[in-house]
Structure 1
Amino acid sequence: MKRKQSNSSASLLKGAAALSIAAIVSKLIGTLQKIPLQNIGGDGVFGIYNTVYPFYTLMITLAAAGIPTVVSKFVAERRAAGDEAGEMKVLSTASWAMLSFGAAGGMLMYLGAPLLAEWIGSSQLIPALRGAAPALLFVPLSAALRGFFQGQKNMMPTAVSQVTEQVVRVAVMVGLLLYFTAQGAAESVVAGSALAGSVFGGAAGLFVMLLYWREYRKTDCGRGDRSAARSGGNKSLLREMLRYGIPICLAALAVPLISLVDTFTLPRLLAFHGDELKVMTAVGVYNRAIPLVQLVTMLATSLSMLYIPVMAELNAKGDQEGIIRHTGLALRWFWLIGLAASAGLAVLAEPINMMLYKDSIGSATFAWVAWSAAPGALAAITAALLQGLGRVRAPAVHLLAAALLKAALNVLLVPQHGMTGAAIAGIAAYGCAAALNLALLLRRTGLRPRLADVLVRPAAAILAMMAAVLLLRLAAAASLPPGRLAALAESLLGVLLGAAVFAAAAVRARLITAAELAALPRYGPKLVQTLRKLRLLR
């Protein structure tokens, strides 16, 4: 019996690891695909895409967020009771509900595209809205099937389908972009083709899930009462699932809200600056830095998830000393990493802009947007720590408050300062979410960080890093010919030098110990050795 439990636990851990890796890979692909999108389509297409995509994300969240969690919970409960017919009934009910919600949402998005574009303030968005709409036929049903297999403690179907969905989506997007740009199509049509990649990706993800479902039905564990799988579910079960799933969905809605604020405010606030295409081009320039900031916050979010079970266990044991120790360490590391990322992106804004997007237009706005990475990383870790301590809803409420602040500041700043105003509003919004989370966390844990540790010494390390990178940039400008290849060299060397100087300065300022730096996987010992050779570390 013990061996069986051990094997089950090991299998579950492997599945969880596969699911985590798949989530990171999927998010990485989804973030970095915006670079070829801008390179092929240009800033106008980029702006239209980034205006519509948050709304598409909202629709997907409404239709499918929480469904895998809900279905997995209900399936696991029935599986534990040996009720295979009940498992099939859960899947059947969820599948019919998702098909209905997805079809209704897709039809609403397609037919309502002209009205929605009018609300947002640009008719350029209509093809993009319609291009993404059919994806709602596939993604919600995939979510139901993923939840079923997760309830079976089989995470591999979800992992494979997630990665497949993203790979197909990006591949089709790039192919359609190349085709329509070669045909000389209008920017709105090209952006619509890019959003259509979501349809093919969603279909591919569903196809993978159906293959796993077919294989499952062939096995002995799938040969139970199939009449439940063929029926349309039942209303009482659906009500029970919705009652459990709606709070999860509402919490998930908080995440895309800040991006959605830009969707509904920027086109109208910028309308007086020129025609609709010029407005979309300005939005595209504004969005150049956002994929890199999202990459930082995505990695921070993924890593912060590791703290949820740790904090939950410490909280259950009543280990207040352990809670304070882990909280202090996590806050310090994520704050320093976020600051270093923000400062590095800001000081290297021009060469990174040139390297990724072929020109340096909007580099000042790029630098402003970069500073949202630090509060974004802090918001991610504080949210995870609060969730681990049982405060699940508070981070979502704080993100809602941040979205409201973003909307208000956009109205105040964008008409006067353009995209720089939107970037400043973004810094303030993520700062608001991080500050509210932090205030609640400090009150809950009793942790009292010192001002010198939080601001003064980190500022000294950041200034040292920025000074070193600026000197490198001056040397590069004097010795390298202008162009994209030179920008690539300047960016990569700047990142390496900045990381080394910041690490050395942080250790000297006792923000990070040499032992903590050496404990970093793979590169930690090499970094410490290099810093000692350069006499930046004792």
Structure 2
Amino acid sequence: MSIKDGASATGSKLLKGATILGIAAVVSKLMGTLQKIPLQNIGGDQTFGVYSAVYPFYILIMFLATAGFPVAVSKFVSERTAQGNERGARRVLYVSSMILMLTGLLFFCILFFGAGLIAGWIHNDQTKPAIQSAAFALLFVPQMASLRGYFQGRQNMVPTAISQVIEQGVRVAVMLMLLLYLHAAHYPDSWIAAGATFGSAAGALAGLAYMLYCWFKELKNGSAERLRGQAEEKDEPLFPLVKQIVYYALPICLGSIVVPILNIVDSFTMPRLLHLHGLSMEAAMVQFGVYNRGLTLVQLVSMIAGSVAVAIVPSIAEAKAVGSLRSIRIRTELSVRLTWLLGLASSAGLAMTAYPVNVMLYKNTEGTAAIAILAFTALFSTLNITSASILQGMGSVLIPAVNMLLSTALKAVLNVALLPVWGINGTAAATVLAFAMAAILNIIALTRRTGVRFSPAHYLYKPMLAIIGMCVLLFMLIHGSEAALRSIPVSMTFRQAQTIVSLIAVGGGALAFFLLIFRVGVIDAKDLESVPNAGRKLLPLLIRFRLLGRPQAVQKK
């Protein structure tokens, strides 16, 4: 096989691996987000509030214990595998497992034995059992992280992908079983929330069990044969290897913990501020749970929109590798524009449908205004995700992290200023403004690094025409379907009726926006040709159905 063929095969393998990991990440995140809906439906807003206050701490501690290590292990294993040093690749795994076992135990102790102190910071004693319950996951996740890094370093993404889905599936299943049992047995809300957080430990154990199965399977399938010729070789010195792994993983870890820190701001400030302004601890947690209804919906929208938009970002790294500044500018602008459009449509659509969607998912209309405000977090969070990914692809790793830290400080200040005045609606506005600040700072950094310019026609005038058209249609669909359902002689509950209204509105609004962005010229044929395979697959359909603003220009080409 020629060098060119080998490079092509390697690129194909990497692309396939990235696709597998991407699909698994979307599936696992989708399950993780959707599981919050039955949690609120069964446990109620107070249980949901306790869970929502605790979960950011769990995520932060998990990142501190593991973040950066899968990437670091993957890098060092890949290097040694490429050199034919199977023994060295194994040693990287053993050393990283040892480090992560110690960090896992350390942070387990911090979370379990420090649960009372953390509950005091949150200003709610009800959170203590849930904090202690979540701590048990730290006994399993770090080891799973090192094994995932090992297989990724060998360019085998399947074990990681499957373990992610298994972990999330078991986590949701155990959470639901404990939730149903504890609720039926009339346990207090604090223990019901603890049962929900224990699902994370059960899922981590299942994911680790699968990774160990893959590891022992590899031991039997020829890996031992590759080691025989290296039996006489000396192992790498322990402490220099530990230093290499930690030094590589630490910056990645620091960059990863920024977003959880922003979420912890709400856990620290909201219950305390709500209590200081007249609510009991229980009522404060109910309000915190109502507020987190909107965050769950935004996370779902951001995940879907962000996954679609960020799909083009790897092409930035390719353009940088060949030194094509023009390609970087074109692809950066298109990535940001796609994200802007998806985020804008998602935000406006969720704000318009907040009332029926709230009833459909959470049974009543509590917090509808907060959901409508939080909807615009989808616009700025997806824009932040894409712009940060592009900056990181260009080597500017610290800029997005610093911008998020500044936004976190702004969020804390705005929470203190706005919550006493407007309640959870003020906190929702603070969240939108914080993410807007992070996104704007990233965009400014992008313009300085690449020289890319963002046309008002493509970002304001034409998109607003599409958004206005979509919103007018949504208004007609919502009120028209409500009127139609009232005239139908079929008995249905308020929630059932609003579910039908939501599905009609969401489906119709999404289709309308998709058609309008082509009709008003927000995206044209030239843009689509910049996306791999779009010209071959999508353009003929758009031309055939006369959806492009100027199809004749395409045909001349």
**TM-score normalised per structure 1:** 0.93
Letter in 1 for 2:359: M
Q: What whole-Å deviation, never above 9, does each CA across 1:50-83 have from its counterpart, x for those lacking one? A: 1111110000000010111111111112222222
Secondary structure of the residue that 2:395 maps to in structure 1?
Answer: coil
Cα distance in 2 for partners of 1:35, 1:483 equals: 18
Aligned CA distance change for structure 1 residues 234 and 162 (closer, same or farther; 3 Å): same
Return the offset for 1:5: 5.5
Match of 1:26 among 28, 32, 38: 28
Q: What whole-Å deviation, never above 9, does each CA across 1:91-130 have from its counterpart, x for those lacking one? A: 1111111111101111110111011100111101001101
Answer with 487-496 or 124-133: which moved more.
487-496
Report the identity percentage: 44
Unaligned runs of 5+ in 1: none
Q: Is the 8 A contact 1:307 1:384 kept in 2?
A: no
Match of 1:441 among 431, 446, 449: 446
Aligned CA distance change for structure 1 residues 528 and 497 (closer, same or farther; 3 Å): farther
Match of 2:179 among 177, 180, 205: 177
Cα distance in 2 for partners of 1:316, 1:83 equals: 28
Aligned CA distance change for structure 1 residues 169 and 227 (closer, same or farther; 3 Å): farther
1:353 aligns with 2:358: yes
Secondary structure of the residue that 1:22 maps to in structure 2?
Answer: helix
Q: What whole-Å deviation, never above 9, does each CA across 1:129-166 have from its counterpart, x for those lacking one? A: 01100100000110001111111111111111111000
Q: Is the 8 A contact 1:369 1:426 kept in 2?
A: yes
Return the offset for 1:283: 0.8
Letter in 2 for 1:19: L
Return the offset for 1:472: 2.0
Q: Give the 5 Å matches for 1:52-451.
A: 52-223=54-225, 224=227, 234-271=238-275, 272-451=277-456
Q: Is the 8 A contact 1:90 1:233 kept in 2?
A: no
Cα distance in 1 for partners of 2:465, 2:509 equals: 13
Aligned CA distance change for structure 1 residues 41 and 394 (closer, same or farther; 3 Å): same
Answer with 193-202 or 384-393: which moved more.
384-393
Q: What whole-Å deviation, never above 9, does each CA across 1:205-256 have from its counterpart, x for those lacking one? A: 100011011111112223527999xx99822211221111100100111122
Return the offset for 1:417: 1.0
1:510 aligns with 2:521: yes
Could you say what the CA RMSD is over the residues aligned between the two structures, in angstroms? Answer: 2.7
Letter in 2 for 1:321: R
Aligned CA distance change for structure 1 residues 134 and 524 (closer, same or farther; 3 Å): farther
Return the offset for 1:416: 1.4
Q: Is the 8 A contact 1:307 1:385 kept in 2?
A: no
Aligned CA distance change for structure 1 residues 40 and 5 (closer, same or farther; 3 Å): same
1:493 aligns with 2:504: yes
Aligned CA distance change for structure 1 residues 514 and 473 (closer, same or farther; 3 Å): farther
Q: Is the 8 A contact 1:63 1:102 kept in 2?
A: yes
**Count of aligned pairs between the two proteins:** 534
Return the offset for 1:506: 2.8
Aligned CA distance change for structure 1 residues 24 and 525 (closer, same or farther; 3 Å): farther
Return the offset for 1:386: 1.5
Return the offset for 1:371: 1.2
Cα distance in 2 for partners of 1:526, 1:484 equals: 38
Cα distance in 1 for partners of 2:372, 2:153 equals: 44
Q: What whole-Å deviation, never above 9, does each CA across 1:488-536 have from its counterpart, x for those lacking one? A: 111111112222333344334321237868959989987887887xx9x
Cα distance in 2 for partners of 1:520, 1:502 equals: 20
Unaligned runs of 5+ in 2: 487-492, 553-557
**TM-score normalised per structure 2:** 0.90
Aligned CA distance change for structure 1 residues 520 and 118 (closer, same or farther; 3 Å): farther
Cα distance in 2 for partners of 1:28, 1:531 equals: 34
Answer with 171-180 or 393-402: which moved more.
393-402
Aligned CA distance change for structure 1 residues 438 and 5 (closer, same or farther; 3 Å): closer
Secondary structure of the residue that 2:257 maps to in structure 1?
Answer: helix
Cα distance in 2 for partners of 1:319, 1:4 equals: 24
Q: Is the 8 A contact 2:313 2:335 kept in 1?
A: no
Q: Identify the residue that residue 17 of structure 1 maps to in structure 2.
A: 19
Letter in 2 for 1:495: V
Cα distance in 1 for partners of 2:32, 2:247 equals: 31
Return the offset for 1:447: 2.2
Q: Is the 8 A contact 2:344 2:379 kept in 1?
A: yes
Q: Is the 8 A contact 2:359 2:365 kept in 1?
A: yes
Return the offset for 1:12: 3.5
